[in-house]
């Protein structure tokens, strides 16, 4: 096999509960991940060395050297296999860059799947998940897709039962937000008000809404502990979130560390209407409609 192409979805966090800061610098999280139909494609082609090229949406903002997470994934997989391999990776971006939708993690997951296939390793999912956990907190979920609860740093996953399909509108902002900066601002804001940080727990009404396919209840239960910090760092997000609620979204939140804002709609038609209203309001650089859950990386 000379070349393998893998399509991989973005994610939105339906609940992101951030616990106390740990000694290792991370936070204990409860993270309800939900994969949605915005996709990157990663093509892996056999080569003597390791290289990567990025095309598409905001490609100039993605590193193309050893800092690229997909290349790091390929290198980690080769080390795990105990052999020297080469690959050229071409990443075609549609997932927003630095937008809180785990585009870099998705590309890393796609690279693991593509290289595992290209190199004929035949490693099981458990091995890939072990490698993924060392690459980043969101990479394991990007490998499995669907909907799942992540605990620890987000890397310990329990798949969730979901009925039906949920429809979304994503409002993209100009520029990105650094995940580390948003977490640091969250810690600063909590310390400033003397907040006693509770141990994070998954919201039972939210999990029930997913099982029942109840979009109205799900919309009311969407939460993100990082949202106040993201809004503090990017004040324009408050106006975007307010506009979504004004135009009839069932629920709204900043996705992950932002700055993408996610709005839950009643139906596919409602999602289209909501996106049009938000576009007319001028509160986002661009609007994307999508649905979830969708599967994880798929060889195409």
**3-class SS at 138?**
coil
For the CA atoms of 264, 186, 93, 15, the dihedral, rounded to the nearest 10 degrees, stands at -30
On whether 101 is known to bind a ligand per the annotation, the reply is yes
On whether 102 is known to bind a ligand per the annotation, the reply is yes
On whether 106 is known to bind a ligand per the annotation, the reply is yes
Catalytic: which of 11, 93, 107, 214? Answer: 11
Which CA distances in Å does 283 have to 51, 121, 242, 286? 38, 47, 10, 9
State how far the Cα of 55 lies from the Cα of 110, in Å rounded to an integer: 15
Catalytic: which of 40, 107, 138, 225? Answer: 138
Does the active-site annotation cover 216?
no
On whether 105 is known to bind a ligand per the annotation, the reply is yes
Q: Quick one: which of 159, 185, 149, 200 has its CA closest to 258?
A: 185
Does the active-site annotation cover 138?
yes
What does the block give as tokens for 290? 């999508």
In 105-215, which ranges are E strands?
147-152, 156-159, 166-172
On whether 50 is known to bind a ligand per the annotation, the reply is no
Q: Distance between terminal CA atoms of the chain?
A: 14
On whether 97 is known to bind a ligand per the annotation, the reply is yes
Q: Give the contacts of 215 (CB within 8 A, at least 6 positions apart).
A: 166, 167, 209, 250, 264, 265, 266
On whether 122 is known to bind a ligand per the annotation, the reply is no
Which residue ranges are tagged as binding site?
96-106
Catalytic residue list:
11, 138
Which residue ranges are tagged as binding site for ATP?
96-106
């Amino acid at each position: 096999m000379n070349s393998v192409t893998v399509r991989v979805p973005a994610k939105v966090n339906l609940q992101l509960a951030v616990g106390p800061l740990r000694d290792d610098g991370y936070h204990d999280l409860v993270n309800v991940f939900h994969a949605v139909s915005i996709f990157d494609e990663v093509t892996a082609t056999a080569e003597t060395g390791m290289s990567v090229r990025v095309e598409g949406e905001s490609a100039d903002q993605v590193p193309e050297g050893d800092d690229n997470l997909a290349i790091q994934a390929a290198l980690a997989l080769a080390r795990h296999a105990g052999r020297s391999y080469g690959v050229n990776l071409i990443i075609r971006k549609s997932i927003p860059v630095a937008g809180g939708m785990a585009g870099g993690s998705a590309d890393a997951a796609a690279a693991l799947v593509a290289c595992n296939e290209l190199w004929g390793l035949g490693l099981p999912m458990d091995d890939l998940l072990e490698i993924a956990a060392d690459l980043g907190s969101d990479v394991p979920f990007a490998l499995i897709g669907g909907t799942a609860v992540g605990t620890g740093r987000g890397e310990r996953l329990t798949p969730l039962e979901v009925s039906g399909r949920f429809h979304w509108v994503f409002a993209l902002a100009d520029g990105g937000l650094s995940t580390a900066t948003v977490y640091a601002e969250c810690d600063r804001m909590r310390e400033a008000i003397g907040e006693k940080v509770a141990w994070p727990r998954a919201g039972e009404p939210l999990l029930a809404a997913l099982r029942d396919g109840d979009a109205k209840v799900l919309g009311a239960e969407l939460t993100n502990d990082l949202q106040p910090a993201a809004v503090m760092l990017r004040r324009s997000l408050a106006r975007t979130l307010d506009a979504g609620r004004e135009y009839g979204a069932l629920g709204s939140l900043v996705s992950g560390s932002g700055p993408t804002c996610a709005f839950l709609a009643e139906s596919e038609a409602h999602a289209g209407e909501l996106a049009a209203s938000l576009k007319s309001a001028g509160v986002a650089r661009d609007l994307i409609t999508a649905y979830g859950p969708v599967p994880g990386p798929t060889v195409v």
